A and B are shown apart, each in its own frame.
Chain A
């Protein structure tokens, strides 16, 4: 009887630990997909970006994309609810000069519009500033 109780308590602890781990996991895919419907009207979907900071272990998530001149791009950042949860997106040009960021004058913005004037490779980096979950999604759209 004592053995059964021991096995049960081990099983319960294992289940609780697994649940805790699952809660800490980042469902960046889901967040990125949920972000698609939040694309500003008039913009056509291009790509989703997963933002998984692995609970704070990863300081930066970076992607690159070729932007074309005379095209407007819209990049939004999604999390649970309206907040961006401290996710900072910064766009750099091919010379690694900052072109834009959603964190301006101490305020986080949920999106940015970039009317591209110079065709080239751009780097889209996601970093975290006071984030709770280090997890989110982003969607890129375009219009001409």
Chain B
């Protein structure tokens, strides 16, 4: 991993393959709840780092928008955790994540749908995407997410 840390291609390939291997093993051994925990934990840590960087760089609008876009991923994580709430460890995390979702629900992602067009360029299809999204997120939203994520993270690692 350390050797490949400067090579994003290799790093993503290794982490994806490792996760797939772990996921297959856990599913075969009827422990897929742990796969969901790995997934949720990885996402939580990435969000925590992003929030900390955003706090240090409050004028970085792209970063703040990326935090807001996590609303889409969070909806999927909530659904996944929902399947395993019989597991006490997951039930507790699920409760905290649902509280985080309430904060994310204050963020608006407005999508303007428009039909895309396609053309052939050098033997490849190149799409022109005419749809667009706008993320409506305030500084207060970011701060609320940052502190909630910090709290959840501390409850996991302590």
Query: Is B a genuine binding partner of A?
Result: yes
B124 at the interface (CB under 8 A from A): yes
**Residues of chain A with a CB closer than 8 A to B135's CB:** 119
Verify if B158 is at the interface (C-beta below 8 Å from A): no
The binding surface of chain A is classed by DSSP as strand
| Cα distance A47–B135 in the bound complex, in angstroms | 26
**Interface check A125, CB cutoff 8 A:** no
> Is B132's CB under 8 angstroms from A100's CB?
no
In the bound complex, CA of A112 to CA of B73 (Å): 24
Q: A119 with B133: in contact, given A66-B73, A114-B127 (CB under 8 Å)?
A: yes
Given contacts A36-B13, A118-B133, contact A44 B8 (CB under 8 A): yes
Q: Are B13 and A112 in touch, CB under 8 angstroms?
A: no
Would you call B127 and A69 a contact (CB within 8 A)?
A: no
Given contacts A117-B131, A118-B133, A120-B133, contact A44 B126 (CB under 8 A): no
- Which of the segments A14-22, A55-63, A103-111 contacts the partner chain? A103-111
Nearest CB of A to B122, in Å? 10
Interface residues on B, range: 20 to 34
Contact A109 B123 (CB under 8 A): yes
Residues of B within 8 A of A100 (CB): 116, 118, 125, 127
> Which residues B35-52 have CB closer than 8 A to chain A?
none
A97 in contact (CB, < 8 A): yes
B72 touches A113 (CB 8 A): no
B53 touches A (CB below 8 Å): no
B114-138 CB mask vs A (1 if < 8 Å, else 0) is: 0110101101111111111101000
Closest CB-CB distance, B112 to chain A, in whole Å? 7
State whether B127 touches A113 (Cβ < 8 A): yes
Interface pair B125/A44, CB less than 8 Å apart? no
Give the B-binding residues of A (Cβ under 8 A).
Answer: 36, 40, 44-48, 66, 68-69, 93-95, 97, 99-102, 104, 109-121
Would you give 24 A-B contacts (Cβ < 8 Å), ordered by A? A44-B12, A45-B9, A46-B12, A46-B16, A68-B66, A68-B69, A69-B132, A94-B111, A100-B125, A109-B124, A112-B118, A112-B125, A113-B124, A113-B125, A116-B129, A117-B129, A117-B130, A117-B132, A117-B133, A118-B132, A120-B72, A120-B109, A120-B133, A121-B72
